[in-house]
Amino acid sequence: MHWLEGRIVCLPSELDRPGFGLAPRFLERLRESPTVVIHSAWTVNFSLRIGSFGQHFAATRNLIGLAAEGGARFYFVSSTAAVINNASSSSGTIAETVSVDPADTTPLGYSKSKWVAENICAAAHERYISEARAGESGNHPVGGQERKTGPPPVSIIRVGQLFANHLGIWNESEAYPLMLSTASFTGCLPDLGDAPLNWLPVELAAQAVMEIALGRRGDDSVAPAQSSGGESREGDGDDDGIPVYHVLNPHRQPTWREMLDLISSSGDSDGRQQQQSAFSFETVPPSVWAKRLEASLNSGTSGHSSQGLLDLWKGKYSEDQQSSSSGGGGDGSDGAKAATAATKSGPVFELERTQAASRTMRDIQPLDRTRILLMWKWLQESSGLCR
Ligand SMILES: NC(=O)c1ccc[n+]([C@@H]2O[C@H](COP(=O)([O-])OP(=O)(O)OC[C@H]3O[C@@H](n4cnc5c(N)ncnc54)[C@H](OP(=O)(O)O)[C@@H]3O)[C@@H](O)[C@H]2O)c1
């Protein structure tokens, strides 16, 4: 394989191992040429405890080290779940800054792992900045290897709940698609009331991440390149704190209930009713749905992947914790946030830095009904739900 044969080269590796477990010739090539390292590999599993994420912390440190050696910028793809319980702000707004209070995250191991990794990034960034200030050069503190240039900046991109692409295709193993697909065997879906569908189509999230990471703001202009000494690009922040970006849909509509109304009787893009959905469902209180789901799963007839989320949902939708403001346990709106969210429909995420860096984020529209219907159609077809 020639190194630059294609635009994409896949290197099977173990990110938490020294040298990523790569053959020396590949490792050398990697060390020579990085300009941007975007770290998004993570175990998205809401059942795991924080202790299971050790390899991811090691991988994060390794990748920061790789970026440091090559003078590259490093972007860590985090989750809004890392800070969703931040209720300290009187405005109810979550700032584009790193959290120093572990109480800002949720009880899920996954959310905690993102909080910890953000703080690993912040510590690395702080170290780089202080070294730059001292005019030091020499050994890198994280990777332990000599770096070629001054300290590279480290940034965090917090991503909110992602949504299906333009064909309606979503990740079948995610919490919300799993929740919606339970309609096929429970005959019902939970009424989550006016919970906002602040979900971001996946291709827009990818576009925004690229605009932020490559310094291309999406309006044909390029942000001035950030020097390896930690000087700020436009939108990167005005102090030495680690830059944090929020890639999410800021719109609060449509709501969950509006979505259920839409999908329960499939309509065309103008909202005209065409035909009944492939299967019908009742809209019931969340606790009723959770009980019916448990009964179905226990009967052993469904063998559905939602089994792994049952305990999370049961805890969240117990009768004494009825909430109409909470989501389905998905990333960025996970199961425990509702109890402490700053506002009934969840906190507002600051977007100033993000929107300065990304046109895509400036132009985000509310989730459109055509795409919701495409998603519903795909879900029924792909899950074998039509019956
Ligand atoms: N989807 C969302 O709504 C959402 C919201 C907020 C943040 N995020 C973040 O966005 C990123 C991507 O999420 P996703 O939804 O695309 O999740 P996903 O479909 O589960 O993809 C995660 C990817 O990470 C890889 N991975 C996991 N552990 C790894 C390891 N130890 N070494 C190498 N690769 C590893 C997986 O590889 P395999 O397939 O080989 O296992 C998979 O390709 C994650 O960091 C997630 O936390 C996602």
Average pLDDT over residues 302-329: 74
Q: Is 79 in the pocket of ligand 1 (CB under 6 A)?
A: yes
Q: What is the pLDDT at residue 324? A: 42
Is residue 123 pLDDT above 60, yes or no? yes
Q: Which range among 94-98, 263-267, 327-331 shows the weakest confidence by mean pLDDT?
A: 327-331
Question: What is the 39 CA–ligand 1 centroid distance (Å)?
Answer: 10
Question: What is the 45 CA–ligand 1 centroid distance (Å)?
Answer: 9
CA 337 to CA 83: how far, in whole Å?
10
Q: Is 162 in the pocket of ligand 1 (CB under 6 A)?
A: yes
341-344, Cβ contacts within 8 angstroms, sequence gap of 24 or more: 341/84, 341/85, 341/87, 342/86, 342/87, 342/89, 342/92, 342/93, 342/94, 343/92
Q: Name beta bridge partners: 155.
A: 75
Q: How many CB atoms lie within 10 A of CB 48?
A: 14
Question: What is the 44 CA–ligand 1 centroid distance (Å)?
Answer: 6
Question: What is the 110 CA–ligand 1 centroid distance (Å)?
Answer: 11
Measured N-to-C along each axis, helices 109-134 and 54-70 cross at an angle, to the nearest 10 degrees, of 30
Q: What SS3 state is found at 227?
A: coil
Q: What is the pLDDT at residue 129? A: 85
Q: Is 11 in the pocket of ligand 1 (CB under 6 A)?
A: no
Q: What is the pLDDT at residue 344? A: 55
**Is the bond preceding 254 in cis, omega lying within 30 degrees of 0?**
yes
pLDDT band at 362 (very low <50, low <70, confident <90, very high): very high
Q: What is the pLDDT at residue 319? A: 66
Q: Which of 331, 334, 337, 349 to mutate to test the pocket of ligand 1 (most atoms within 8 A of CB)?
A: 331
Domain boundaries, the chain: 22-162+200-247, 171-198+252-345+368-382
Q: Is 364 in the pocket of ligand 1 (CB under 6 A)?
A: no
Q: Which range among 89-103, 250-264, 356-370 shows the weakest confidence by mean pLDDT?
A: 89-103
Average pLDDT over residues 27-35: 87
Residue 238: DSSP 8-state: S
- Going from the C-alpha of 215 to that of each of 128, 278, 316, the distances in angstroms are 20, 45, 40
% residues pLDDT > 90 (the chain):
61
If 0-12 CB within 10 Å is exposed, 13-18 middle and 19+ buried, where does residue 323 land? middle
Q: What is the pLDDT at residue 342? A: 34
Q: What is the pLDDT at residue 329? A: 59
Q: What is the pLDDT at residue 90? A: 66
CA 24 to CA 121: how far, in whole Å?
26
Q: Is 43 in the pocket of ligand 1 (CB under 6 A)?
A: yes
Is residue 334 pLDDT above 60, yes or no? no
Average pLDDT over residues 35-57: 96
Q: What is the pLDDT at residue 77? A: 98
Is residue 226 pLDDT above 50, yes or no? no
The closest residue, in CA terms, to atom 40 on ligand 1 is 41
Q: Is 60 in the pocket of ligand 1 (CB under 6 A)?
A: no
pLDDT band at 217 (very low <50, low <70, confident <90, very high): low
Is residue 209 pLDDT above 50, yes or no? yes
CA 44 to CA 307: how far, in whole Å?
16
CA 39 to CA 242: how far, in whole Å?
16
If 0-12 CB within 10 Å is exposed, 13-18 middle and 19+ buried, where does residue 143 land? buried
Task: Report which of 80, 82, 96 is spatially closest to residue 332, judged by C-alpha positions.
Answer: 80
Task: Report which of 6, 13, 20, 140 is spatially closest to residue 72, judged by C-alpha positions.
Answer: 140
Q: What is the pLDDT at residue 355? A: 97
Q: Is 205 in the pocket of ligand 1 (CB under 6 A)?
A: no
Residues 124-169: tens digit of each pLDDT = 999 988 887 777 555 544 444 444 444 458 999 999 999 999 999 9
Average pLDDT over residues 89-114: 91
Is residue 230 pLDDT above 50, yes or no? no
Q: Is 171 in the pocket of ligand 1 (CB under 6 A)?
A: yes
Asked if residue 279 lies in contact with residue 184, where contact means CB atoms within 8 angstroms, the answer is: yes
Is residue 339 pLDDT above 80, yes or no? no
Q: What is the mean pLDDT of the chain?
A: 83
Q: Is 15 in the pocket of ligand 1 (CB under 6 A)?
A: yes
pLDDT band at 228 (very low <50, low <70, confident <90, very high): very low
CA 81 to CA 98: how far, in whole Å?
13
Q: Which range among 34-48, 89-103, 224-238 shows the weakest confidence by mean pLDDT?
A: 224-238
Question: What is the 176 CA–ligand 1 centroid distance (Å)?
Answer: 16
Q: Which of 10, 11, 40 to mutate to test the pocket of ligand 1 (most atoms within 8 A of CB)?
A: 40
Residues 171-204: tens digit of each pLDDT = 989 999 999 999 999 999 999 999 999 999 999 9
Task: Give the chain's count of helices (H) and strands (E).
Answer: 12, 10
- Report which of residues 278 and 345 the model is more confident about: 345
Is residue 118 pLDDT above 50, yes or no? yes
Question: What is the 285 CA–ligand 1 centroid distance (Å)?
Answer: 31
- Going from the C-alpha of 220 to that of each of 209, 211, 216, 380, the distances in angstroms are 16, 11, 7, 40
Residues 247-304: tens digit of each pLDDT = 999 999 999 999 999 999 764 444 444 444 556 899 999 999 999 999 999 997 667 8
If 0-12 CB within 10 Å is exposed, 13-18 middle and 19+ buried, where does residue 26 land? middle
Domain 22-162+200-247 CATH (choose: 3.40.50, 3.30.70, 3.30.2310, 1.10.150) = 3.40.50
% residues pLDDT > 70 (the chain):
75
Average pLDDT over residues 372-377: 96
- Report which of residues 53 and 226 the model is more confident about: 53
Structure tokens at 191: 């009424």
